[in-house]
Amino acid sequence: MTKRIDFQTDPSRYRHWRVEYDGQVAHLYMDVDEKGGLFEGYELKLNSYDLGVDIELADVVQRMRFEHPEVGAVVLRSGKPNVFCAGANIRMLGGAAHSHKVNFCKFTNETRNAFEAAGAESGQHYIAAVKGACAGGGYELALACDHIMLTDDGSTTVALPEVPLLAVLPGTGGLTRVTDKRKVRRDLADVFCSIEEGVKGKRAVDWRLVDEIVPNSKFDERVKARAVEFAARQSGKAGAKGIALPPISRSFGEDGSVAYSLVEVQIEREKGLATVAIAGPDGVAPALLDELHAQGAQTWMLRLARELDDAILHLRLNELELGVIVFKSQGDPALVAAHERLLLDNQGNDWLSREILLYWKRVLKRIDLTSRSLVALIENGSCFAGFLAEILFACDRSYMMEGAFEGDNRPAATMTLTEGNFGPFPMSNALTRLETRFLGEPEAVETARGHVGEALEAEEARDLGLVTFAFDDVDWEDEVRIFLEERASFSPDAMTGMEANLRFPGPETMETRIFGRLTAWQNWIFQRPNAVGEAGALQRYGTGTRGEFDMRRV
């Protein structure tokens, strides 16, 4: 699996999904091309999916929000006659490296969360219209929707057969959404997750597994009515005109570097290091909303979000051995704040302003959840203001230049807080990054707020607790170098586990439980011979022979 996985696509290239727009209702058909697997060695039968299928789905969800803001209901259906979706492709999972499996699951989880966010934040409600077998990852797709409709045709079931069939967990949020979103009684959940054949009809409603069952003859009609009903909640955006999301500008260097229009990814392979350099605005903020809409995908904050999102995903899936990501920026922090200001001021009355901010919320969460050591270097000439300062607080640590640096005539290193640091970009634990940072000293959040708009230099930023370390010209280079060398020498597994625990203190949400608890157990199981060994259930699947298990419990 050494080919480069590309997270960029568009409808003209879809092989697995089809979208039809009908006013405020979008019809989304899953119709997976068996021969369209991302890698060799498996066929995507029965609407099973691999990462390639999910990349297209993520693109659908993303485009819906920017290109079709008028949509208020998305009906998710199968394009195949007798199956809704059979879940993640087992042969693909059986053949994939541990690191690919884990990153695949993380991306699919993020995409499922994006469904739910679309409903909650933008009134784009996903409705699963389930006809035909809906198993494993297929039911997890449905679970991420706001409403699940099940045909009562005597054979259609929902099922989570992973445990009895494959000796792994329903790990794309399945277990967590069953208990925490649908609130299925825990003993019934135990029964449901233990039976291969699943649950159908009235029992599926009684057990809270689906929202309604519909006689097969009335299914299409009822689905249509339900879609109209959901869409009507969102009538305010009926006339909204979307903006197009054309391909992003991107080129790959021979050394693995990537150059976007505003983001540069440099690779130092022998150091296990990727540096992500962000360029500030290349112009003043749009003065009016009309100008913002006219700029569309080219407006600085949206362009940067798309490029940075792609860069992070590229590093996650294609550059597995780079354990440390360093974030830098260069630009005018006042311009950054001005661009953000326009959106913050208009988020209540302009869908595009709101969507760009919400996209940043997702991008920043993607950074939080990236299992690499994240380090910010706040150098002279930096523009970490507002939402870009959030990157500092997403990092495991930050280093800031202090005082004059010989031969460096860039403006002194600063960071600038804005109102953007106090609400619009919560982490998945539902706190802002500053609230998370100052869990032990909540008053420090208010103190920091008193400095909104100031370009804070190193000493002040350190005193406010906003950076980890500040070093002057004498120490900077050595301190940063020694730290990066040391970090790169640690066991990547220990780093992953440590960061997953330290980054999310405080309250838990369904999201943090999916990424923290469910994922960790799944990763453990993905290492255990009972699942992935030669005689394990995942390897034996489809051979007609059951897995052999070491019966020792832990």
**Residues 436, 445, 455, 456: which binds its own copies (CB under 8 A)?**
436
Q: Which residues pair with 26 in a beta bridge?
A: 21, 74
Q: What are 436's two structure tokens?
A: 């998370």
Nearest to 350, CA basis, from 281, 422, 288: 288
Q: Which is nearer to its own copies, 246 or 507 (CB)?
A: 507
The count of other CB atoms within 10 Å of the CB of residue 437 is 18
Q: Which is nearer to its own copies, 120 or 482 (CB)?
A: 482
**Residues 32, 178, 213, 389: which binds its own copies (CB under 8 A)?**
178
Q: Letter for the amino acid at 192?
A: F
Report if residue 547 touches its own copies, rule: CB under 8 A: yes
Q: Which is nearer to its own copies, 19 or 439 (CB)?
A: 439
Mapping DSSP to helix (H, G, I), strand (E, B) and coil, where does residue 359 land? helix
Q: Which is nearer to its own copies, 279 or 498 (CB)?
A: 498
Nearest to 148, CA basis, from 214, 203, 83: 214
**Residues 81, 348, 440, 544: which binds its own copies (CB under 8 A)?**
440
Q: Min. distance of Cβ 219 from its own copies in angstroms?
A: 26
Q: Min. distance of Cβ 375 from its own copies in angstroms?
A: 10
**Residues 98, 233, 449, 481: which binds its own copies (CB under 8 A)?**
98
Q: How many angstroms separate the Cα of 197 from the Cα of each of 200, 206, 371, 481? A: 9, 17, 35, 56
Longest C-alpha distance within the chain, in Å?
A: 78
Q: Min. distance of Cβ 509 from its own copies in angstroms?
A: 9
* Interface positions, 199-258, toward its own copies (CB under 8 A): 208
How long, in residues, is the chain? 554
Q: Going by C-beta distance under 8 Å and a sequence separation of 6 or more, which residues neighbour residue 37?
A: 43, 44, 50, 52, 89, 92
Nearest to 471, CA basis, from 377, 355, 357: 377
Number of residues that bind its own copies (CB under 8 A): 91
Q: Going by C-beta distance under 8 Å and a sequence separation of 6 or more, which residues neighbour residue 402?
A: 413, 457, 458, 459, 470, 471, 472
Q: What are 157's two structure tokens?
A: 């079931």
Q: Which is nearer to its own copies, 82 or 501 (CB)?
A: 501
Q: Which is nearer to its own copies, 345 or 550 (CB)?
A: 550
Q: Which residues pair with 276 in a beta bridge?
A: 265, 327
Report if residue 396 touches its own copies, rule: CB under 8 A: yes
Interface region with its own copies, contact rule CB under 8 A, candidates 3-11, 93-101, 219-227, 248-256: 93-101
Report if residue 438 touches its own copies, rule: CB under 8 A: yes
Q: Which is nearer to its own copies, 188 or 279 (CB)?
A: 188
Q: What are 242's two structure tokens?
A: 């979307």
Q: How many angstroms separate the Cα of 95 from the Cα of each of 148, 193, 213, 538, 543? A: 32, 24, 37, 10, 15
Q: Which is nearer to its own copies, 229 or 508 (CB)?
A: 508
Q: Which is nearer to its own copies, 78 or 109 (CB)?
A: 109
Q: Which is nearer to its own copies, 162 or 264 (CB)?
A: 162
Mapping DSSP to helix (H, G, I), strand (E, B) and coil, where does residue 198 land? coil
Interface region with its own copies, contact rule CB under 8 A, candidates 31-39, 258-266, 295-303, 394-402: 394-402
For 297, counting Cβ atoms within 10 Å of its Cβ (0-12 exposed, 13-18 middle, 19+ buried), the class is middle
Q: Min. distance of Cβ 436 from its own copies in angstroms?
A: 7
* Interface positions, 265-284, toward its own copies (CB under 8 A): 272
* Interface positions, 299-328, toward its own copies (CB under 8 A): 320-323
Interface region with its own copies, contact rule CB under 8 A, candidates 109-117, 222-230, 258-266, 391-399: 391-399
Q: Spell out, one character per residue from 442 to 471, where the chain touches its own copies: x when CB under 8 A holds, - when not.
A: -----------------------x--x---
Nearest to 392, CA basis, from 422, 367, 361, 359: 367
Give CA–CA dist 156/219, Å, rounded.
12
Q: Going by C-beta distance under 8 Å and a sequence separation of 6 or more, which residues neighbour residue 278?
A: 262, 263, 304, 308, 327, 328, 329, 330, 331, 383, 388, 391
Q: Spell out, one character per residue from 333 to 372, where the chain touches its own copies: x when CB under 8 A holds, - when not.
A: --------------------------------------xx
Q: Which is nearer to its own copies, 32 or 537 (CB)?
A: 537
Give CA–CA dist 465/471, Å, rounded.
15
Q: Which is nearer to its own copies, 26 or 445 (CB)?
A: 445
Report if residue 401 touches its own copies, rule: CB under 8 A: no
Q: Which is nearer to its own copies, 259 or 320 (CB)?
A: 320
The count of other CB atoms within 10 Å of the CB of residue 350 is 17
Q: Which is nearer to its own copies, 11 or 507 (CB)?
A: 507
Interface region with its own copies, contact rule CB under 8 A, candidates 37-45, 67-75, 119-127, 177-185: 177-185
* Interface positions, 156-175, toward its own copies (CB under 8 A): 162-164, 166-169, 175
Q: Min. distance of Cβ 103 from its own copies in angstroms?
A: 7
Interface region with its own copies, contact rule CB under 8 A, candidates 30-38, 99-107, 228-236, 412-420: 99-107
199-230 exposure pattern, b = at least 16 Cβ within 10 A, e = fewer: bbbeebbebbbbbebbeeeebeebbeebbeeb
Q: What are 509's two structure tokens?
A: 């949400």
Stretch (H or E) spanning 327: strand 324-330
**Residues 338, 395, 448, 461: which binds its own copies (CB under 8 A)?**
395
* Interface positions, 485-544, toward its own copies (CB under 8 A): 486-487, 490-503, 505-508, 513, 516-518, 520-525, 527-528, 530-531, 537
